[in-house]
Amino acid sequence: MFTRSATELAAGIRSGEVTSREVVTAHIDRIRRVDPALNAVVEDRFDAALEEAAAADASMNNGGREALPREALPPFHGVPCTVKEVFAIPGMRQTSGLVHRRGAVATEEATAVTRLREAGAIVMGTTNVSELCMWMETSNKLYGRTNNPYDVKRIVGGSSGGEGAIIGAGASPFGLGSDIGGSIRMPAFFNGVFGHKPTGGLVPGTGQYPLAENAALRYLTTGPLARRAEDLMPLLRILAGPDGIDAGCFEQELGDPASVDVSRLRVVDVRGNGFRRVSSELGHVQESVARSLEGSGADVRRVRIETLKRSLDLWAAMMSAASDTAFAELLGDGSRLRPGRELARLAVGRSDHTLPAIGLAAMEKTTKLFPGRSKRLVEQGKAVADELEDFLGPQGVMLYPSYTSVAPRHNAPLFPPVNWVYTAIFNIAEMPVTQVPLGLNENGLPLGVQVVGARGQDHVTIAVAMQLEKTFGGWQMPPRLAGDEAFLAQQVP
């Protein structure tokens, strides 16, 4: 059960092979078993989920008579899932890992959550994030740190790190995440699962905290993480489309992965950005992907794109230009945080904030010091997005590293703190990206690659992901969770 896709579980429930209550109970039991070592689920709704599962089963049968035709059931009827804590669910906390918001309880529901529930999904609980979703390690002073199911000494990525960890552990078939600089893709990569960052403006972000502003409403994307690739497109269809609230979301046509002939695609293989070097093992596995697609008939071109060297500057400038509210103000929950003072408090153990969050608050001022340079960078960023778009075209994808290495040890990403630019550039380009797991390295840690497409071509990147899953095996249960009782007995450090 813990290796099946949500689509397969839904089919089993629909056919009567298994009940929703059995599926939900099994996954709740697994969360209870693995989460003491992971700290991924920060608030559960297990009792409510079991009641909803019983109702889902009852809706299918009524005294032995059909109460609802099987074909009329929603696509994920009775299937459990998890949701990133930043999405509003009535009666549950929505803090974004900020101590000042420890008492914030949602009264309304995020659009994406409503759409999942209307599609029959049952939410088991919410998952941990980095503080205010702006760092690549999921850790905060409210909920603590989340650990990797493949090695608890390593990070899970951020900010949808709790989602990546609990799905990677086999305890949730799929989950809901968000991504403004890699926050779906890095957790998917480090935890060995699939993740999809949609085209900008495809899925409304209504009901998230914090929510982006202005043009950044399209840089911030809401999307699925899943243990199997076949779930990505059905979930994306459920999530997509304007809700009349998110001004950055607009109607877009979605294609069908089944219509994609991978043998006729142009594949652009880009090994690095010339700014931060990628490990040899990630380079080797990306070469294996390129050769596999080439063997399928695809036109593979190995190139360098020099403008990607400026990914960090371009992302930072475009994010700053789109933001009216300072990050320091969000950290202070309305009153601007003073980074220097907060660093001093942190040094003596009295700060409610993490070092990366304080550092970002200190750094954001620098983007305002040279307005002329920032304006030029914004213009260059838009040009790079158009360049990438033209380069790929509707029948092209790019293979690109997800990070510079496999999941690093806790705190290691601070030295240096810029390796996440491999994912961030595609947010400001508003391009769809599917994160694809590619098996495990010799130390049992997940390998992977980003598959990037032109805007509106989400179905193409997902189609490639589905083919690569067949070739490389996709998500693999963490060996330590398969039978290591010592691992399961660990508590969060």
Looking at the domain assignment, is residue 342 inside a domain? no
Q: What is the pLDDT of residues 1-27, one digit of tens each?
A: 899 999 999 999 999 999 999 999 999
Looking at the domain assignment, is residue 341 inside a domain? no
- The catalytic residue positions are 84, 159, 183
Q: What is the pLDDT of residues 148-165, one digit of tens each?
A: 999 999 999 999 999 999
State yes or no: pLDDT of 63 exceeds 60.
no
CA 277 vs CA 155, 282, 491: distances in Å = 20, 11, 34
CATH number of the domain within which 370 lies: 3.90.1300.10
Looking at the domain assignment, is residue 333 inside a domain? no
**Token pair for residue 77?**
């009827």
Which uninterrupted H or E stretch holds 55?
Answer: helix 46-60
Band of the pLDDT at 67, cuts 50, 70, 90?
Answer: low
Say how far apart CA 267 and CA 296 lie, in whole Å: 11
78: left (phi > 0), else alpha (psi -120 to 50), else beta? left
SS3 content of the chain, % helix, strand, coil (to 5): 45, 15, 40
Closest of 31, 69, 32 to residue 172, by C-alpha: 31
Say how far apart CA 372 and CA 366 lie, in whole Å: 13
Looking at the domain assignment, is residue 317 inside a domain? yes
Neighbours of 304 (CB within 10 A): 11
Say how far apart CA 460 and CA 277 lie, in whole Å: 28
Q: What is the pLDDT of residues 255-278, one digit of tens each?
A: 999 999 999 999 999 999 989 999
Q: What is the pLDDT of residues 363-383, one digit of tens each?
A: 876 665 556 678 899 999 999
Q: What is the pLDDT of residues 238-252, one digit of tens each?
A: 999 999 999 999 999
Mean pLDDT for 78-91 is 98
Looking at the domain assignment, is residue 224 inside a domain? yes
Strand 266-269 with 396-400, pairing: parallel
Looking at the domain assignment, is residue 203 inside a domain? yes
Say how far apart CA 186 and CA 401 lie, in whole Å: 11
Domain count within the chain: 1
pLDDT score, position 62 = 65
pLDDT score, position 451 = 98
Give the mean pLDDT of the chain: 94
Looking at the domain assignment, is residue 107 inside a domain? yes
Q: What is the pLDDT of residues 42-51, one digit of tens each?
A: 999 999 999 9
Looking at the domain assignment, is residue 454 inside a domain? yes
Least-confidence region, from 154-163, 352-361, 436-445, 449-458: 352-361
CA-based radius of gyration for the chain: 21
Q: List the domain range (segments joined by +) for residue 32.
A: 6-326+364-489
Q: Are 305 and 426 in contact (CB under 8 A)?
A: no
